[in-house]
Structure 1
């Protein structure tokens, strides 16, 4: 397990000014159980110090085996215990948790809004299903995000190909099963291209003036 922090039991231990350089996962040690893919954990939190999303994103750890994952996970504050506007991102190694990443830009995400008190259990169920390859969609899964907010919490599962309806449907159905969601649970699928459009700054075209007239 490649962990930059000796102890992460409280998310405030993360120094937002520290270097966020990604470091690859080590190979599984003797007797360890390798995962099908290596993964990385990132943390982000809205802060007056952060002017962009990229600046708020902090690399936490990377791992290649079941044992390395539990070593990192056991030192992390559970989502239900985090404060403020905070996120955990668990993505396959080499994929940054950003819409613009090459692995993500043609994909999308399933979004589930949770009542307060459910985030920790649902997050653990989701990431264990992802690490255990329960979604059965090949390399389509890119990563998962849990977002802690003031009114509710949000789970999102990202995949590579938004246009593949059969795959997105299978991911949705597996999500319902591994999270034990009621049949009437509202789930939203959003493409990353739509997210980029919504987040883009609005540009107003300059007003056309009659010849010779100066702007006020």
Structure 2
């Protein structure tokens, strides 16, 4: 073959080189992309941010990066803060595969969140609101976590959520109402951080207990909450729940 390579020419008796057809080339490209594509998640998720002092001006200005959200300037004396909780929510990212999850998670430092700010990782089309149709009859486990342990605790809970372990805990053969894990939240308080796991059916006692057992079974010993550092509460028991307790108890359960 050396003589064929001299001067960059190919002689008449040089071995033929197979040229892939366009169809074959397309097939190879698809196969390569499939191998490189990040594994998809079972459910698509949305990442939300609630800033306590968000105002009318900043609510319409998208963040240039996830890191800039936590470092955004606070409300000035001349700006009117938003009092409606839903209006304070800003959608930050949509997550449907493992690579996107880690891109989002690793670029949002929850330890830098200001006091009373919250972040939420929820199933797509479910807002982190008690009154959302998928949440109205549900509740959540709340874990009070020391601030220095909050990032590790939050990571563990998020992995249990996107990895479907929390969903497996609430699955059952209940016929009248399907239970789901709707999402997980982190909220900054004065001396600690509250991490929550939301489920759809506050009447599903076995599922609620299995949720707690699943969380505990997947926590390192140093992340385990204190004996009085966790509790479950239905959303309609909160004083600020829209419509009051009576409306929540009388509303019919709908299968979907």
| TM-score bracket, shorter-length normalisation | 0.7 to 0.9
| 8 Å contact kept, 2:46–2:124 | yes
2:65 matches 1:34: no
Structure 2 residues not aligned, in runs of 5+: 1-32, 54-79, 172-178, 243-256
Question: 1:143: which partner in 2?
Answer: 183
Separation of aligned partners in 1, 2:99 and 2:137:
32
Question: 1:90: which partner in 2?
Answer: 121
Aligned-residue RMSD, C-alpha: 1.8
1:177-196 aligned at under 5 Å gives the runs: 177-180=217-220, 181=224, 184=227, 186-195=229-238
Equivalent residues, number: 170
TM-score under structure 1 normalisation?
0.73
How far is the alpha carbon of 1:179 from its aligned partner? 2.8
| 8 Å contact kept, 2:51–2:88 | yes
2:111 matches 1:80: yes
TM-score under structure 2 normalisation?
0.62
Separation of aligned partners in 1, 2:226 and 2:198:
22
Separation of aligned partners in 2, 1:182 and 1:147:
16
Over alpha carbons, which structure has the higher Rg? 2
Higher strand proportion, which one?
1
How far is the alpha carbon of 1:33 from its aligned partner? 0.4
Higher helix proportion, which one?
2
Describe the shift of the 1:200–1:96 C-alpha distance in structure 2 as closer, same or farther (beyond 3 A).
Answer: closer
- Once superposed, which parts of structure 1, at least 4 consecutive aligned residues long, lie more than 4 Å away? none
1:126-141 aligned at under 5 Å gives the runs: 126-135=157-166, 136=168, 137-138=170-171, 140-141=180-181
How far is the alpha carbon of 1:163 from its aligned partner? 0.2
Separation of aligned partners in 2, 1:89 and 1:182:
20
Structure 1 residues not aligned, in runs of 5+: 1-28, 202-216
2:106 matches 1:65: no
Describe the shift of the 1:166–1:62 C-alpha distance in structure 2 as closer, same or farther (beyond 3 A).
Answer: same
2:240 matches 1:199: yes
Describe the shift of the 1:44–1:66 C-alpha distance in structure 2 as closer, same or farther (beyond 3 A).
Answer: same
Separation of aligned partners in 2, 1:179 and 1:88:
21
